[in-house]
Amino acid sequence: MKIAFIYDAVYPWVKGGVERRIYELSKRLARRHEVHVFGFGWWGKYDLEFEGFKLRAVCKPEKLYKGGRRSITAALKFSLKLAPKLLKEEFDVLDCQAFPYFSFFPSKFHELFRRSRLFVTWHEFWGDYWFEYLGPAGFFGKLVERLVVKGSRRNIAVSNAVARDLRLLGVDCSVIPNGISFGEIESCKASDFSSDVIFVGRLIREKNVDLLLESLSILKESGYRLDCAIIGEGPERAAIERKARELGLEVCMENFLSYEEMIGRLKASKVFAFPSLREGFGISVLEANACGIPAVVVKSDKSAASELIVEGKNGFLSSNNAEEFAEKLALAIENSKKMRKFCIEFAREFDWNLIAERLEVLYGS
């Protein structure tokens, strides 16, 4: 099969769950198929052979975020520039990431006029959250999202939570979860830089890092002396650093590391803190488990990460409350070593090789 993945951000130039999924699946599917990844040309204007698949530069990259929110201008530009490049070629399968929506429309034209099989992969479904995100202008975001829902015949959800939201609208979908490179994680060595609590992720409002800082402050007042590392980049970084200073916390703030370095830091930590309120899946929870450490996750209707927690076995669930989150952090630290074996065995079931096989069967069905 000739397969094309479509998403504006591309790993490793942009590090996030969606980018990582496309990268890992492309590597594996390219062993038996011809795989192309269409994205902003973070590497330059030219097309690039990369780890067995082809990176296709749609246009020069734009800033993905503006004022802490995904840039509508960047999404529109990507969609407009994508159309002529995509439509001049034939593909058997297109896998278009639903968000940020506009790239669905040239992909749909390809399905109609080039007879390709278009799959839309849903990492989240926003619905009424659009109004919280954009205020009254959220009407237009919700409208575009519904147009994609109505126009897509083949849908993939990365979690049961996303699948439930789609099925409530009468949309049929298959669940193909995200995964982890279990063998690669297993081979990484623990870092010399250890921490009691670690967070890894994009520093945006929805990641709710303030809750982690407030919880650490509560534990500090209770007599805990904890080392915390926050690894990531994003528009909320300055605000997070300011809040840490206001609370009198000594937090190690670092930019995104290489994958090997990040895994090493997880292996040298006791607990992974994941206070995110919106999450289509939560790959980093599985990566932490594969490193042998439990995760403390906020239970939220809009976060599928809580589906990955077996309470007391590979982590703990908390409400969006600093005192409860602090309590669960302390519990996870105390029981971290006991939970190590279950964490690793649970994560093993999400190896990318198994996920790629399931996706390949779906594409060909």
pLDDT tens digits along 81-127: 999 999 999 999 999 999 999 999 999 999 999 999 999 999 999 99
Predicted pLDDT at 12: 93
The pLDDT assigned to 133 comes to 87
pLDDT classification of 336: cutoffs 50, 70, 90: very high
What's the CA gap between 332 and 339, in Å, rounded?
9
- Locate tokens 């830089």: which residue? 193
pLDDT score recorded for residue 68: 75
Question: Is residue 265 helix, strand or coil?
Answer: helix
User: Which DSSP symbol is given to 356?
Assistant: H
Residues 6+ apart with CB under 8 A from 35: 3, 4, 5, 26, 29, 52, 53, 54
Least confident of 43-47, 54-58, 87-91, 277-281: 277-281
Domains along the sequence of the chain with CATH: 2-179+351-364 (3.40.50.2000), 182-348 (3.40.50.2000)
Distance in Å from the first CA to the final CA of the chain: 12
For residue 147, pLDDT beyond 80: yes
Percent of the chain with pLDDT over 90: 93
Q: 339: pLDDT confidence band, cut at 50, 70 and 90? A: very high
Round to whole Å and give the CA distance between 319 and 311.
Answer: 13
pLDDT of residue 269: 98
Q: Tokens at residue 220, please?
A: 């500090």
pLDDT at residue 16 is higher than 90: no
Indicate if the pLDDT at residue 333 is higher than 80.
yes
Closest CA to 95 of 174, 1, 3: 3
User: What is the tens place of the pLDDT at every residue in 162-199?
Assistant: 999 999 999 999 999 999 999 999 999 999 999 999 99
CB 121 within 8 Å of CB 101: no
pLDDT score for 69: 85
Q: β-strands 93-97, 2-6: how paired?
A: parallel
Question: What pLDDT does residue 247 have?
Answer: 96
- pLDDT at 231 exceeding the cut of 80: yes
Higher pLDDT, 158 or 16: 158
Q: What is the mean pLDDT of residues 209-233?
A: 96
14 confidence band (pLDDT: 50, 70, 90): very high
d(CA 226, CA 213): 12
pLDDT of residue 213: 98
- Which of the two residues, 365 and 141, has the higher pLDDT score? 141
* HEC per residue, 130-186: HHHHHHHHHHHHHHHHHHHHHHCCCEEECCHHHHHHHHCCCCCCEECCCCECHHHHH
Residue pair 56/37 in contact by the 8 Å Cβ criterion = yes
Supply the pLDDT for residue 365. Answer: 86
